[in-house]
Amino acid sequence: MKVGDLICYNAVGQKSHTLGIIVDTRIGVADRTLEDEVQVKVQWLKRGAYLPKDVDAYALHTNGFKDYDQYRAMRDGENPCLWHKPAGLEKVRR
């Protein structure tokens, strides 16, 4: 996956209910290991009932509730822009 790719969330029946575009990529540290992993920042254009787990939520939650509340409000908005692991994301064929 690369910047500019259209993607959908291919899990829990959300394939036809979600659409996003990759706006950035980074190498981040995995949740419970010290290994690096690729992460993608997705601007969700269409959101279904579920979105994949975002990688920044836990870090913000532990750093202070004020920041986490602002982040959660953005995450729960109509078109959130979130960092995800690529697992469960699928490139949309044009």
- pTM for the whole thing? 0.79
The two structure tokens encoding residue 48: 């279904």
**37 in a structural domain:** yes
Is residue 1, in this structure, part of any structural domain at all?
Answer: no
- Residue-range definition of the domain harbouring residue 38: 6-91
pLDDT of residue 4: 95
Burial 16-33 (b: 16+ CB within 10 A, else e): eebbbbbeeeeeeeeeee
| 61 vs 88: CA distance, rounded Å | 24
* Residue 12 falls inside a structural domain: yes
User: What's the distance, CA 47 to chain centroid?
Assistant: 11
Quick one: pLDDT band at residue 44, thresholds 50, 70, 90? very high
* Mean pLDDT within 45-67: 74
User: Rounded to whole angstroms, what are the CA distances from 8 to 3, 42, 58, 71?
Assistant: 14, 10, 23, 22
Averaged confidence pLDDT in the chain:
82
Q: Is residue 13 part of a domain?
A: yes
- Confidence check: pLDDT of 56 > 80: no
- Establish if 43 belongs to a structural domain: yes
Total structural domains within the chain? 1
Q: Does 55 fall in a domain?
A: yes
